[in-house]
Amino acid sequence: MSKKLQGMRTRLLVAAVAGALGCAGFASAAVPAGGQFAVLTKSTQLSRGDVIRGAVPISQAVHVTLALKLRNDAQLKIFIANARQPGAAQRVMSRATLASDHLPTAAQAQAVAGYLKNAGFNNVKIHAGNMLVSGDASAATVQSAFQTTLVNVRTHDGRNAFANNSPIRIPATLQGSVQAVLGLQTVHKARIMAQPNAVVGVGGHYPTEFAHIYGASGLPPATDVAAAVWGWGSMQNTVNDLDDFMGITGLDAGDVAVVCTDTNGIDWNTGEGLGGTTIGDPTCNGNFDFGEVEWAMDSQSILAMSGGVKSLTFYAAYGGYNTTITDSLNEIVNPSVGEPLPQVINASFGECERYQDANQGGDGSMQSNDAMFQVAVAQGQTFTVSTGDSGADECGFGNPLNSASYPASSPWVVAVSGTTLRASDTTWARENVWLGAGGSPSSAEMAQPWQTHLTYGPFKGARGPDVAFDANPASGELVLIQGSYAQIGGTSLAAPLTAGAWARILQGNPGLGFAAPHLYALPASALHDVRSGNNRGYIAGPGWDWATGLGSFDVGRAAAALSSD
C-alpha cells in the first residue's frame, strides 16, 4: 500500500472511531448545571511510527488521575526566589503554611471527587495534599466524563497502548481547580538513562572512589539526611544488591524502605482495585523488575558519595507512565504512609518534554509535576534529575536546538548533564563533555533567577542544565549487580553522584534547603569548569554552557563556601 493510501486509511479510521464514540460514548455523562464543558488539553500527539488500531473496548478499566492547581502560585514563586538570598530569614516553608496558602483546598478536591463519583467512577480517592484525585472507570465512562475518545495504539517500540485522539474536556465549573487529566494515554513513557560500557575506555571506578575524586571524602557522612531513589517496578533485586554493597563497603543506608504506588496497575479489565499504595513490600505486589541496573546504580552511588545516610527510600511507580510517575511524585512530596520526607531524591529517567507540555500537545503532566516540584522546593527538598543520553536532541526530532528531557527541564529540580572523567582512583584530573550528554535549552520551561543571567544565544532565558558529573560509560561506575560488577554510565550515574554530594553538604548545613540556587553561588575555585567537547549540538566553553551547565564541583570546597550561607 502506498504511503498516501496508508495516510488516507489512518485518517478515515480515526474519523470513524471518533464518530462512533461521539454518538455512543457520551450518553451517560454527568453533565454539570448548564452543560458547559471546556477544553483542557489536546489529543495525544503520537510519535513517528505509532499506529492507531481501532477503538478501546468500552469495558476496559482505566485508572485516571486529575491533578489540581496550586493556589497563589505567584506568591509561592516569590517565596522560593527570596529563600535563595544569602542570609534569608526563611528558606523552608512549613506544611501548615503550604496547606493554608498554596495547596488545593479540601473543598476543591471534594468538588473534583464529587464529579468523578457522579460520572460513575469507582475507588475515587483524594490523595495527600489535595493535589491529586484519582478514580477507576470503564473506558465508556471515562470517554463520557471527559467528552473524549480513546483508541488503541501500536507504538513504534512495539507496545500495545491507548490514547485520547480528541481533546479532553472538563466541566467549566472545575476549570479553576483542575490542571490536567492524566491516565488517558499510555503511548508516551519515561525511559531510564543507564548506559552499559560496550567498549574499553579510560577506566571505570568503584562507587566509593567518586567521593575521593570529587572531594567529598573529607566531610562527615550524611547520616542525618533522608535520601530517596525514584523509579518504577519491583525493587526486590535492587534492595538485595544494596544489602550486598553495604556488606562489602561497610557503608550504612539507615532505614531502607520501598514505597509502591499504583500497585494494582492502571488499565486492567477488572474495573475494581486499580491504583493502591504500599510500604514494606519490595516486590510492589509482585510487579515486574523493570530496572534493577538503574536503581542499583542510583542507590549505590548515593550511598557511596554521601558516606552513609539516615534513610534510603525507594519510590516505585507502576511502569514509567506519565500518570503513574505523577502519582508516585505526590507520595514523595506529600507522604501518606509513614515514610520520612526525603531531603534529597534522585530521578535517573525522563522523556521528551513536548509529550508532557500541555501547550505542545502533551498531556499536562509537566504542569502538574512542576506544581509538585515547587512544593518540594518550598519545603526544602532537592530532586537531582538526569538530562538524558541522546545528546542535544533528546526528543529525536532531528532538531537539537531546543530538545530537552523532562523532568530535568523543570526549573524546580537540579538538572545533571554528563562528562567524560579523567581521574585516578582518588584524584580528579579533568572532564570534558560526554558526547551523549543531554544538554539543550528547553522548548517550554524558563530559567529561574539563579540561572537566567547565564543563558545566551537564540534561546536566552530558557531552562538549561545546572551541573554535570561523570557519565561516559567508558569512565563509568562498577555497579554491584547480583554478586558481580558491571561498568555502567549515562547521566543516570551523574545524577545520583550529585544527589550524594548534596546530601553530604546538607549534613554540615541542614538549613540550606533546595540545592540549585546555592550551586550558582559557588566560587570558581569550587567548580570544575568543563571547557572542551560537545554533545552534538552545543559546545562547552568557559563558564556556564548549554552542554554542561556549571560543570561539576569539588564537594569539600563547595561545603566550605556554603558554610556561612
- Look at residues 266, 256, 263 and name the one whose alpha carbon lies nearest to residue 277: 263
Does the pLDDT at position 29 exceed 70? no
* Burial of residue 158 (number of CB atoms within 10 Å: 0-12, 13-18, 19+): exposed
Contacts of 374 (CB under 8 A, 6+ apart): 70, 73, 76, 77, 80, 412
Does the pLDDT at position 4 exceed 80? no
Does the pLDDT at position 31 exceed 60? no
pLDDT, residue 200, reads 54
Angle at Cα 152 formed by Cα 149 and Cα 156, nearest 5°? 125
In sequence order, the β-bridge partners of residue 422 are: 430
pLDDT, residue 555, reads 98
Q: In this structure, which amino acid lies at residue 564?
A: S
Share of the chain above pLDDT 90, in %: 82
Does the pLDDT at position 11 exceed 70? no
Mean pLDDT lowest among 84-98, 111-125, 159-173: 84-98
Q: Per the residue annotation, which of 492, 545, 552, 554 is the catalytic one? A: 492
Q: Is 209 a catalytic residue?
A: no
Q: Give a three-class secondary structure readout of 552-565.
A: EECHHHHHHHCCCC
Does the pLDDT at position 8 exceed 60? no
Does the pLDDT at position 202 exceed 80? no
Work out the end-to-end distance of the chain between its first and last CA atoms, rounded to an integer number of angstroms.
67
pLDDT, residue 91, reads 81
Q: 3-class DSSP state for residue 364?
A: coil
pLDDT, residue 108, reads 98
Q: In this structure, which amino acid lies at residue 262?
A: D
- What is the distance between the alpha carbons of residues 49 and 33, in angstroms, rounded to a whole number? 42
Which pTM was predicted?
0.92
Does the pLDDT at position 308 exceed 60? yes
Does the pLDDT at position 353 exceed 60? yes
pLDDT digits (tens, 9 = 90+) for 62-109: 999 999 999 999 999 999 988 777 666 678 999 999 999 999 999 999
- Residues comprising the chain, all counted: 565
Dihedral angle computed from the Cα positions of residues 161, 325, 465 and 411, in that order, rounded to the nearest 10 degrees? 120
pLDDT, residue 475, reads 94
pLDDT, residue 83, reads 76
Q: Are 438 and 404 in contact (CB under 8 A)?
A: yes
pLDDT band at 462 (very low <50, low <70, confident <90, very high): very high
pLDDT, residue 453, reads 97
Q: Per the residue annotation, which of 136, 292, 294, 327 is the catalytic one? A: 294
Q: Give a three-class secondary structure readout of 243-273.
A: HHHHHHHCCCCCEEEEEEECCCCCCCCCCCC
Does the pLDDT at position 351 exceed 90? yes
- What is the distance between the alpha carbons of residues 314 and 235, in angstroms, rounded to a whole number? 7
Q: Is 410 a catalytic residue?
A: no
pLDDT, residue 201, reads 62
Beta strands in 446-483 (DSSP E): 467-470, 477-481
pLDDT, residue 127, reads 96
Does the pLDDT at position 146 exceed 90? yes
Between 193 and 408, the higher pLDDT residue? 408
Rounded mean pLDDT, 142-147: 97
- Look at residues 320, 307, 299 and name the one whose alpha carbon lies nearest to residue 365: 320
pLDDT, residue 21, reads 34
pLDDT band at 9 (very low <50, low <70, confident <90, very high): very low
pLDDT, residue 198, reads 59
pLDDT band at 215 (very low <50, low <70, confident <90, very high): very high
DSSP 290: -
Q: Are 473 and 443 in contact (CB under 8 A)?
A: no
Does the pLDDT at position 126 exceed 80? yes
Contacts of 376 (CB under 8 A, 6+ apart): 332, 333, 345, 382, 383, 412, 514
Domain residue extents for the chain: 14-69+104-182, 191-561
- CATH among 3.40.50.1000, 2.60.420.10, 3.40.50.200, 3.30.420.280 for 191-561: 3.40.50.200
90 CB neighbour count, 10 Å cutoff: 12
- What is the distance between the alpha carbons of residues 391 and 242, in angstroms, rounded to a whole number? 30
Would you state the cell numbers that stand for residue 275, as one nine-digit string?
Answer: 491504583
pLDDT, residue 7, reads 38
pLDDT, residue 86, reads 65
Q: State the chain's mean pLDDT as an integer.
A: 90
Q: Is 351 a catalytic residue?
A: no
Q: Per the residue annotation, which of 298, 327, 351, 445 is the catalytic one? A: 298
